[in-house]
Amino acid sequence: MTRAKIVLINWSLPTCSARTDNDILIAFKPPEKSLSLTDVIEMDLERLNVPQEIRNLTTGSKFVVSVKDNDIHDLRLPIGPSGSSRFPSVERLKGA
């Protein structure tokens, strides 16, 4: 399981971004109004494209979202040409 801090919430889109300590950015559709900036969540980054239960460690609540593989970005990889992937390696997904 991986911990990440909520760094962006846009309720009008709706979208949410969370960042891990090792600079992996995760974007997903947030549950209705149950997250706040700086909340810490816990999720399984190896379970993508399927619904998974996410724990909000700050509030103790749980919610289910499907994190798509194209919504995970390794911020330590350089930005490439349009359409290039910044998908993290398996080692990075595990916290390296």
Give CA–CA dist 36/38, Å, rounded: 6
Q: What are phi and psi of 90, to 5 degrees?
A: -60, -40
pTM for this prediction:
0.86
Task: Name the token pair of 70.
Answer: 């194209």
Which tens digits make up the pLDDT trace of 20-60?
A: 999 999 999 998 777 999 999 999 998 999 999 999 999 99
Q: What is the pLDDT of residue 83?
A: 60
Residues 86, 72 contacting (CB under 8 angstroms): no
* Bigger pLDDT: 95 vs 24: 24
User: Within 13 Å, how many C-alpha atoms sit on residue 54's CB side?
Assistant: 32
Query: Strand, coil or helix: what is 3?
Result: strand
